[in-house]
Amino acid sequence: MGTAGIVGVGNMGGAMARRLLDRGWQVVVRDVVPEREQALVGCGATRAASPAALADACDTVVVAVVDARQTEDVLFGADGVSASARRGGCVLLCPTLGPSDVERFTERLRARGLDSLDAPMSGGPARARDGSMSLMVAGADAVFERQRPLLEALSSNVVRVGVRPGDGARTKLVNNLLAAVNLAGAAEALALATRLGLDPARTLAVIERSSGQSWIGSDRLPRALAGDLAPRAHTSLLRKDAALAVAMAREVRADVPLGEVAALQFARACEAGCADLDDASLYDWLRGGRG
């Protein structure tokens, strides 16, 4: 077992930290919300005062914040990781980022003598906690092999997508575009059932045993029907990811009309007040409960 630092210990990063602690790793954490840090200190983690202090204590830093702006600040801002990270250390980039951002961060880290892996994650907090989430990893073979013990401690589903930085991001965005399409379609269909006077729970039970079933629909819609919109994955995150995926498609002149519609639906739901709710709230919005 080794020592790993995690910057950003919200839903996903916190679950990853607990997973590593359970498996005997020493874990150093940093978050802008002190209560998140304190909860993990109670589980055996060590708190760092800044990303720089965390990097000084760990050879490997896992970045699990929300977006490119936060990632850049964590890596290169005042008291950022690059200020004190040891040469030869490694950064795992786990947020959903645009491929060009991953390439840019990789080059800047390399210029400071740091390795990195493009390693976005998927599956939600429960699967991060039990190690069944997906990690889509791109980067140099030698770096991947050195980080294999950590990657396999975090996940039993590590997918090696290639050596080119950004391919992890590209894979994640393709996946999340389909997730947005599937969830938008499932929420729309169930909202239609409700408007038709059908029992939505019974309709969902039929869907889950029939050709309309999707993993994300089965995961999200029971919570929506129960009125449980506490955020496991914020609606704003899927809006961001779908928008990144559509922008990526436009760069290669690929038509993604279903993806564009799904991205628009999540954007509208966020504008209607669902941004900080679970993305299951799309059903609530579509059936007229919000907005």
Task: Assess whether 172 carries a catalytic annotation.
Answer: yes
In angstroms, what is the C-alpha Rg of the chain? Answer: 20
Catalytic residue among 18, 170, 172, 234: 172
Apex 98 CA angle, 109 and 108, nearest 5: 15
User: How distant, in Å, are the alpha carbons of 111, 114, 116, 118, 234 from that of 103?
Assistant: 12, 14, 10, 9, 26
DSSP state at residue 143? H
The two structure tokens encoding residue 74: 């964590």
- Angle between the 11-22 and 34-41 helix axes, to the nearest 10 degrees? 10
The 3-state DSSP class for residue 206 equals helix
By C-alpha distance, which of 140, 224, 231, 215 is closest to 176?
Answer: 215
Q: How far is the C-alpha of 26 from the C-alpha of 4, rounded, in Å?
A: 6
The two structure tokens encoding residue 32: 């802008």
DSSP state at residue 81? G
By C-alpha distance, which of 193, 168, 187 is closest to 262?
Answer: 187
User: Which residues are part of the catalytic machinery?
Assistant: 172
